[in-house]
Amino acid sequence: MRVLIADDSLLSRRLLEETLRLWNYEVVVACDGAEAWRILDGPDAPSLAILDWMMPGHTGPELCQLVRKKAREPYTYILLLTSRNDKEDVVTGMDSGADDYITKPFDKHELKVRLRAGTRIVELQEQLLSTREALRVQATRDYLTNLWNRSAILQQLERELARSWREGEPVGVILGDLDHFKAINDTWGHAAGDLALREAAERMKSSLRPYDSLGRYGGEEFLLVLPGASLEDTIWLADRVRLAIRNEPVMWQKANVTLSCSFGCTSGQGGRVTADELIRIADEALYAAKRGGRDRAVGRECIPSLTTSPTVGSAMQEVLFNATENL
């Protein structure tokens, strides 16, 4: 555990430093309040701090206030070091945001147990933070493919549409659906189907640009969000993903399982079209791709209506039929 010792008295600083090192704490030292704040405000700030009350630069209570105002995570546990033991001063110190205090000259046993209490709080808080992070991952990731889950990818689409509105750039949207996937489950079993889903997800991910987003939209359906992509770019990318999926069979217990995917593509700009409309248009294009024989990417342009009447909606125009002769 790293501990900051901030004290302008050389003697007191040395004594504290030596004692803490003996107890196996990793010690960081500051000679005044300004230096202490630079450390506490820095990227690698210790989670435990022992701050002298009276220091040039900033006093201990002032530092407490600065730290609490910043509300950094993980939490900084602060012990104020004071030669005052007047009750009112203690109240002022704790009021400014200190967690505990110890009077100078310090008693080693007392310092030891107070530091132990601080360490416990800091460790508990670290556990809470990592649990919260794990929950956040669980809430946004699909357990099978580790892609974004449906609600997370929809949020990304909303976010990209808001950005595209500000920047006047389009957003490409692709809906992909694995072909005859039920037959894979029926022929090879559910575990083979799961493997094929994971493999398809990997292949999709590796054919995208770093700033594209990919999520599992449903059972064997995927949603891809491509910032800045025109319809032409979107179809081109969908076809690249399509080839990555179908070019190599998936190996399942020494058998070759062939895999292919159909794609519906569209592109639109935030403020002119909603996420729901883009998905509906992509879904219609996907349906056309299935009808047309599968293993293909079909694009439909989304032409925003010039009127704002909700009954008019977006006019659509089917523009492009993929791509490959390879059916």
CB of 140 to ligand GH3, least distance (A): 18
Which residue, 53 or 181, has its beta carbon nearer to Mg ion? 181
**Token pair belonging to 199:** 């493999």
Judged by CB under 5 A, the number of residues near Mg ion is 4
Site for ligand GH3 in 195-214 (CB under 6 A): 197
CB of 294 to Mg ion, least distance (A): 9
Among 73, 110, 133, 194, contact with ligand GH3 (rule: CB under 6 A): 194
176 in Cβ contact with 244 (< 8 Å) = no
Judged by CB under 6 A, the number of residues near ligand GH3 is 16
Distance CA 263, CA 226 (A): 14
CB of 219 to Mg ion, least distance (A): 6
Distance CA 305, CA 140 (A): 34
Q: State the DSSP string of 140-181.
A: HB-TTT-SB-HHHHHHHHHHHHHHHHHHT--EEEEEEEETTH
Site pattern 151..180 for ligand GH3 (x: CB under 6 A): --------------------------xxxx
**Binding status of residue 263 toward Mg ion by CB under 5 A:** no
CB of 167 to Mg ion, least distance (A): 33
- Only one residue has tokens 């956040």, namely 136
Which of 55-74 are b and which e, b meaning 16 or more Cβ less than 10 Å from the residue's Cβ? Answer: bebbbbbebbebbeeeeeee
Distance CA 252, CA 123 (A): 45
Which residue, 163 or 198, has its beta carbon nearer to ligand GH3? 198
For the question of residue 232 being annotated catalytic, the response is no
Which residue, 177 or 277, has its beta carbon nearer to ligand GH3? 177
- Only one residue has tokens 């976010």, namely 159
Which residue, 167 or 194, has its beta carbon nearer to Mg ion? 194
Distance CA 296, CA 15 (A): 74
**Binding status of residue 219 toward ligand GH3 by CB under 6 A:** yes
CB of 322 to ligand GH3, least distance (A): 16
Q: For residue 205, give every residue at least 6 positions away whose Cβ sits within 8 Å of its Cβ, in sequence order, or none.
A: 147, 214
**Binding status of residue 293 toward ligand GH3 by CB under 6 A:** no
- Only one residue has tokens 């004692």, namely 19
**Contacting range for Mg ion; rule: CB under 5 A; set: 62-70, 189-197, 220-228, 248-256:** 220-228
Q: Of 272, 305, 268, 269, which is closest to residue 285 (Cα–Cα)?
A: 268
Of the listed 160, 220, 277, 301, which one is catalytic? 220
Distance CA 267, CA 261 (A): 20
Site for Mg ion in 158-217 (CB under 5 A): 177-178, 181
Would you tell me which residues interact with ligand GH3 (CB under 6 A)?
144, 177-182, 185, 190, 193-194, 197, 219-220, 290, 294
Which residues belong to the active site? 220
